[in-house]
Structure 1
Amino acid sequence: MTVEDRDLTRAIVAYLGKGRSPFPRTDEDAVRALAVGEDAAVLLTRGRAVTDEMMSIKIDWATKTLSEGGREAQEVLVARRPELGQDALEALYWMFTYKWR
């Protein structure tokens, strides 16, 4: 069983503005405010890498709705990054579907 990386999960949620913004955005200051156990620059780099990875997942849009494609991308990311918590995965799904709409 993989242990959730809570710092990274919280950083992704904060970075994307989930729960604070009506649409996904990048908020580096929110991540810096969270960086207690880890260097802010490292946490930002890790969070950006995950968001970039999510956006690089290829979906066959000819056979998927926006929601289905977003969930498929989320499943791919879960397999690649099992340390992500559900809050981060939902924030990433939100970002992915917003950008592909």
Structure 2
Amino acid sequence: MPSFEFATTDNALWDASEPKGGLSPGLFNTHVHVWDQQSLRVYLATGVTTICNASGMPFHLRLVHEIERAKVIGPTLIAKGPILDSPGPNQQINHQMVITSDKAQEAKRGSL
């Protein structure tokens, strides 16, 4: 398995594996689904320095703060609110169910 050596600074990657090093602009992935913190290093290893999680859960807010405090290694994480859905064949346990437009607006105001 390849070894990755990198450091991030201001949304750029420093590639320490190159003989003279090199600075590359970081990539921004605007639609990801983060399920655990172990997956975060993969983004950095592939040049992604910022991600926008599209299905927010409370643990994402903790990850944002842990990344900002350098307690967890990962790209800058933008946490969005939960997926709003209505009951039916596509509903999932991590979706927030809404039945009316008023409930959807209420959920939107109270989201992450």
Fold-level match, TM-score > 0.5? no
- Name whichever structure is richer in helix by fraction: 1
**What TM-score, normalized by structure 2, do the two folds share?**
0.27
Q: TM-score, normalised by structure 1?
A: 0.28
Larger Cα-atom Rg: 2
